[in-house]
């Protein structure tokens, strides 16, 4: 459905996007994941024909962004980052304007405005000016306008940034609801967001794709590498480190926190088998008080952490 | 081009949501009224010449204030991204916004028709210059709206858009008044570039195609430049 070929975008001497290529099938929910400044927004802006790429091409249903920008825009509903709307317009007027520009008229216009408002939960603020809305409501109005013309593709740039946890859950539910029928591409720098909503993750760093695969697959990883996090009472980190560094398969013992006598640490493990019985045996032998014990098979997080660290350097 | 109408409707309504429209209109009417009537009784002539002779300078200040937000505000709030990723072409956006500003200027001129009516009670109003004056005022308003729109497309800061627009308008108004230090050969060219020169021609009641063409070309050139600036942004 969407084909991205060798996409490159330079801003002066900065390469924001550096030869990205991938394909998106109909009905997928794709998460573009990456640290800030990785090139997610730029990629989405090129896809929505807001920016021209320096080189490369995107085609949507075999229409190229270079030749058919208006047709592509018609197929795409777009929510830009932080939902920039017209602050002084009433929500209803704004949605009506979007409907007009997207060539909806008469009964269909009225019914679509009602439908998207209902779906995104903005029916009760229709007669308020946009600038008086909370961040969460603005985001919902942004989603509502993106869905106005029942687009086949929905592009959402950081749809949950700046929202409180309840609002995040609500917006994610809406996105999942939409994703049943539409192709959705969303960008985020929050890992859990991808895990919660997307079928497929593409991790971008410094304008390049570093990982691409089904969320489940990336989450499980190869099964060889995983982390066990443990919380203990009545012990010290050096004792723990001494005890576990000897265990074959443990590659690293890292301290997460030590507060109020509760020691929180993780063991990075690289082993075919499950080391948890061995770890538990050690804890019992030393008579440490076990508060929490959990295994994460999260290759995704490992990849992402490495990336973010690199990005900061 | 149907979308230009939707953009126009949104922008034109937008003027009246905030108090800016009312402030600009009041200011324009107060100033133009004051300048007009403060000298009107001195000359003891039933004509609007003093009103029309000041109009280009007044417009140089007022119209950039009307147009300054058209693009700058969209760039500043980021809503331009939303607008330009909808199925509209940049030509439709530009024409819609231009027509909104132009209509606002026309609306602003309507109350000044009362000056003419008022004068016609006091003496015989020469209808030729009166019609010519308003035709000229509309052409001038269109040209300055295009200039202001261009200035607004250059920056995300409305104040800068205002100052740039005002500067271009003032220079085109006064360019033919500052020619005394130029060689005689260049005079004709610069005089022809001056908006005031053409406006005063029309407001004498002589509708010359050269003057009309001048204003239309200023509109076209400025709107085209705006189009180039918008293209350059992507």
SS3 of chain A: CEEEEEEEEEECCEEEEEEEEEEECCCCEEEEECCCCCCHHHHHHHHCCCCCCCEEEEEECCEECCCCHHHHHHHEEEECCCCCCCCCCEHHHHHHHHHHHCCCCHHHHHHHHHHHHHHHCCHHHCCCEHHHCCHHHHHHHHHHHHCCCCCCEEEEECCCCCCCHHHHHHHHHHHHHHHCCCEEEEEECCHHHHHHHCCEEEEEECCEEEEEEEHHHHHHCCCCEEEEEEEEECCCHHHHHHHHHCCCCEEEEEEEEEECCEEEEEEEEECCCCCHHHHHHHHHHHCCEEEEEEEECCHHHHHHHHHHHHHHC
Of chain A, the percentage scoring pLDDT greater than 70 comes to: 93
Stated length of chain A: 313
Q: What pLDDT does residue A216 have?
A: 75
Average pLDDT rounded to a whole number, residues A101-118: 91
pLDDT for A250-303, tens place per residue?
Answer: 888 888 888 888 889 888 887 767 888 888 888 888 888 899 888 876 666 666
Q: Do B10 and A97 touch (CB under 8 A)?
A: yes
Torsion of the alpha carbons at A190, A195, A198 and A201, rounded to the nearest 10:
70
Of B46-55, B91-100, B176-185, give the lowest mean pLDDT range.
B176-185
Q: Report the C-alpha gap between B13 and B7 in whole angstroms.
A: 10
Least CB-CB distance to B85: which of A50, A71, A87?
Answer: A50
Q: Tell me the backbone φ, ψ of residue A36, rounded to 5 degrees.
A: -60, 140
Average pLDDT rounded to a whole number, residues A107-119: 91
The H or E element containing residue B220 is: helix B209-233
| Minimum Cα–Cα distance from A70: chain B residue | B87
Q: What is the pTM of this model?
A: 0.84
Q: Is the separation of the CB atoms in A236 and A263 below 8 Å?
A: yes
pLDDT for B151-172, tens place per residue?
Answer: 999 999 999 999 999 999 999 9
Q: Do A86 and B14 touch (CB under 8 A)?
A: yes
Of chain A, the percentage scoring pLDDT greater than 90 comes to: 34
Q: Do B77 and A84 touch (CB under 8 A)?
A: yes
Q: What pLDDT does residue A248 have?
A: 83
Average pLDDT rounded to a whole number, residues B3-30: 90
Least CB-CB distance to A84: which of B2, B81, B87?
Answer: B81
Residues from chain A that touch B93, judged by Cβ atoms under 8 A, are none
Q: How many CB pairs under 8 A join A and B?
A: 64
Residue-wise burial string across A115-149, b where 16 or more C-beta atoms lie within 10 A, e elsewhere? ebbebbbbeebbeebbeebeebbbbbbbbbbbbbb
Least CB-CB distance to A73: which of B9, B77, B86?
Answer: B86
Q: What pLDDT does residue A269 have?
A: 83
Query: Min CA distance, A76 vs chain B (Å)?
Result: 8
Residues 6 or more apart whose Cβ sits within 8 Å of residue A206: A15, A18, A38, A39, A311
Average pLDDT rounded to a whole number, residues B8-13: 93
Q: Report the C-alpha gap between B229 and B155 in whole angstroms.
A: 10
Residues from chain B that touch A86, judged by Cβ atoms under 8 A, are 10, 14, 77, 79
Q: Using beta carbons and an 8 Å cutoff, which residues of A are at the interface with B?
A: 45, 48-52, 70-71, 73-74, 76, 78, 80-82, 84-89, 93, 97-98, 100-103, 145
Provide the angle, in degrees to the nearest 10, between the axes of the packed helices B20-43 and B2-17. 80
Q: Do B82 and A85 touch (CB under 8 A)?
A: yes
| Minimum Cα–Cα distance from A156: chain B residue | B82
Mean pLDDT of chain A: 86
Q: Report the C-alpha gap between A156 and A82 in whole angstroms.
A: 10
Of A224-228, B15-19, B33-37, B142-146, give the lowest mean pLDDT range.
A224-228
Least CB-CB distance to A84: which of B7, B17, B82?
Answer: B82
Q: What pLDDT does residue A306 have?
A: 67
């Amino acid at each position: 459905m969407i084909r991205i070929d060798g996409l490159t975008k330079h801003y002066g001497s900065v390469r924001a996007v550096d030869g990205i290529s991938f394909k998106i099938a109909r009905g997928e929910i794709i998460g573009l994941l990456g640290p800030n400044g990785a090139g997610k927004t730029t990629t989405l802006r090129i896809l929505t024909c807001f920016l021209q790429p320096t080189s490369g091409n995107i085609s949507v249903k075999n229409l190229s962004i270079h030749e058919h920008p208006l047709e592509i825009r018609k197929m795409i509903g777009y929510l830009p980052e932080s939902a920039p709307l017209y602050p002084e317009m009433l929500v209803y007027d704004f949605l009506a304007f979007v409907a007009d520009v997207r060539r909806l008229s008469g009964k269909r216009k009225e019914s679509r405005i009602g439908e998207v408002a209902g779906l995104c939960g903005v029916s009760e603020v229709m007669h308020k000016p946009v600038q008086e809305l909370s961040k969460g409501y603005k985001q919902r109005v942004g989603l509502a306008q993106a869905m106005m013309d029942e687009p086949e593709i929905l592009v959402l740039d950081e749809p949950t940034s700046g929202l409180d946890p309840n609002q995040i859950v609500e917006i994610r539910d809406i996105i999942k609801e939409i994703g049943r029928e539409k192709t959705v591409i969303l960008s985020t720098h929050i890992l859990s967001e991808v895990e919660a909503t997307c079928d497929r993750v593409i991790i971008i760093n410094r304008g390049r794709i570093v990982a691409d695969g089904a969320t489940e697959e990336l989450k499980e990883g190869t099964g060889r590498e995983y982390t066990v996090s443990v919380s203990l009472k009545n012990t010290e980190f050096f004792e723990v480190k001494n005890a576990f560094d000897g265990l074959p398969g443990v590659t690293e013992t890292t301290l997460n926190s030590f507060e109020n006598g509760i020691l929180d640490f993780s063991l990075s493990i690289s082993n075919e088998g499950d080391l948890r019985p061995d770890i538990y045996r050690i804890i019992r032998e030393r008579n440490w008080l076990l508060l929490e014990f959990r295994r994460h098979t999260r290759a995704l997080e490992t990849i992402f952490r490495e990336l973010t660290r690199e990005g900061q350097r | 081009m149907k979308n230009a109408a939707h953009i126009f409707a949104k922008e034109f309504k937008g003027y009246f949501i905030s108090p800016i429209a009312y402030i600009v209109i009041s200011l324009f009417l107060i100033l133009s009224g004051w300048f007009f009537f403060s000298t009107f009784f001195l000359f003891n002539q039933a004509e609007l010449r003093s009103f029309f002779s000041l109009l280009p300078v007044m417009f140089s200040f007022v119209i950039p204030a009307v147009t300054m937000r058209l693009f700058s505000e969209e760039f500043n709030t980021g809503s331009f991204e939303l607008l330009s990723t909808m199925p509209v072409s940049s030509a439709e956006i530009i024409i819609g916004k231009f027509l909104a500003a132009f209509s606002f200027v026309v609306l602003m001129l309507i109350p000044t028709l009362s000056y003419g009516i008022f004068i016609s009670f006091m003496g015989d109003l020469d209808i030729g210059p009166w019609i010519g004056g308003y035709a000229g005022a509309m052409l001038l308003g269109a040209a300055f709206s295009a200039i202001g729109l261009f200035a607004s497309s250059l920056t995300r800061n409305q104040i800068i858009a205002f100052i740039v627009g005002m500067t271009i308008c003032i220079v085109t108004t006064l360019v033919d008044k500052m020619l005394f230090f130029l060689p005689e050969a260049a005079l004709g060219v610069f005089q022809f570039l001056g908006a005031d020169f053409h406006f005063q021609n029309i407001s004498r009641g002589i509708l010359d195609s050269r003057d009309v063409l001048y204003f239309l070309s200023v509109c076209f050139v400025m709107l085209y430049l705006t189009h180039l600036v918008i293209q350059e942004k992507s």
